[in-house]
């Protein structure tokens, strides 16, 4: 028959309680040299971190400054830039729409006034010359010249007008976008030619001119030597 031997329980060691039979380990005290060394190490780490932070700030600040200077230079260049637009040329008859107001019938001796409206249908701006040398009117009957504006005056002396084309742009409110000179102008211009109802004599002497009699008359208008109306017919009664 087996007998059980008594087992003595092992005493558990509690934290902070010295083991029985073992002397507590004494704490090691740092020497002044070691403490001084730790202080220097801490200062060195702080200095390195400071250098890193300052370097990052300098790099960021330099990049921001360069970007600011670049934007200022770009804005200054945009303000200083001048766009040169081509000088408009004379209006081509093919680019002009001509609207005419001419009475079908006039009284003998009353004459006739022709009202013209020129509309620029081209893309580019053009110059319309309505002077007496450029805008002319011819009245004929039976194949004979009755009156010629190049011999007798046809009304008020005209001038040169700028007609914008479809490419003309509106003025930019910010003033940063250059604008053609014709922007904002009307694309049409009007002119009037008047026939006094008389036959133009030599030198257009009014006292020697005779009144054109009743009949059928033909009228043509030319701009720069090119016909712009075709043959228009009216009657004098």
pLDDT at 51 over 90: no
Contact by Cβ (8 Å): 221, 134: no
What are the structure tokens assigned to 44, written together?
């060195």
For the residues 33-44, what does the mean pLDDT come to? 82
Q: Which residue has the higher pLDDT, 46 or 16?
A: 46
Q: Is pLDDT of 16 > 60?
A: no
Residue 229 has pLDDT above 80, yes or no: yes
Tell me if residue 80 falls in helix, strand or coil: helix
The encoded tokens of residue 92 equal 């081509």
Per-residue b or e along 39-66, where b marks 16 or more CB atoms closer than 10 Å to that residue's CB:
eeeeeeeeeeeeeeeeeeeeeeeeeeee
List the beta bridge partners of residue 234.
Answer: 217
Residue 42 has phi, psi (to 5 degrees) of -60, -40
Number of C-beta neighbours around residue 183 at 10 A: 15
Cα-based torsion angle of the residue sequence 129, 134, 140, 144 in order, rounded to the nearest 10 degrees: -170
The token duo for 102 is 């001419």
Res 104: pLDDT: 93
pTM: 0.56
Find the Cα–Cα–Cα–Cα dihedral 84, 87, 88, 90, rounded to 10°: -170
Decide: 109 and 147 in contact? Cβ < 8 Å: no
H or E element at residue 21:
none
pLDDT(35) > 90 = no
Separation CA 154–CA 234 (nearest Å): 18
Q: Which domains are present in the chain?
A: 93-236 (2.60.40.10)
Summarize the confidence of residues 9-29 as an average pLDDT: 59
Measured between alpha carbons, how far is residue 119 from residues 99, 132, 157, 205, 217 in Å? 8, 19, 20, 35, 27
* Mean pLDDT value across residues 31-54: 83
- In this predicted structure, the answer to whether residue 32 has a pLDDT above a threshold of 90 is no
Confidence of residue 185 (pLDDT cuts 50, 70, 90): low
């Amino acid at each position: 028959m087996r007998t059980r031997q008594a087992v003595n329980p092992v005493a558990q060691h509690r934290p902070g309680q010295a083991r029985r039979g073992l002397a507590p380990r004494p704490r090691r005290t740092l020497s002044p040299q070691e403490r001084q060394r730790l202080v220097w190490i801490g200062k060195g780490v702080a200095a390195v971190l400071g250098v890193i932070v300052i370097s990052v700030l300098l790099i960021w600040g330099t990049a921001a400054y360069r970007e600011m200077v670049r934007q200022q230079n770009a804005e200054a260049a945009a303000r200083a830039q001048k766009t040169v637009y081509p000088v408009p040329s004379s209006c081509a008859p093919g680019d002009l729409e001509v609207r005419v107001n001419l009475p079908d019938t006039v009284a003998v001796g009353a004459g006739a006034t022709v009202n013209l409206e020129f509309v620029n249908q081209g893309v580019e701006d053009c110059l319309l010359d309505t002077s007496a040398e450029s805008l002319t009117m011819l009245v004929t009957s039976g194949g004979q010249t009755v009156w010629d504006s190049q011999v007798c005056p046809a009304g008020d002396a005209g001038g040169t007008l700028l007609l914008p084309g479809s490419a003309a742009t509106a003025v930019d409110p910010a003033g940063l976008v250059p604008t053609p000179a014709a922007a904002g102008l009307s694309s049409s211009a009007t002119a009037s030619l008047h026939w006094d109802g008389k036959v133009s004599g030599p030198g257009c002497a009014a006292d020697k001119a005779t009144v054109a009699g009743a009949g059928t008359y033909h009228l043509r208008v030319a701009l720069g030597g090119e016909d712009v109306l075709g043959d228009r017919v009216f009657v004098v009664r």
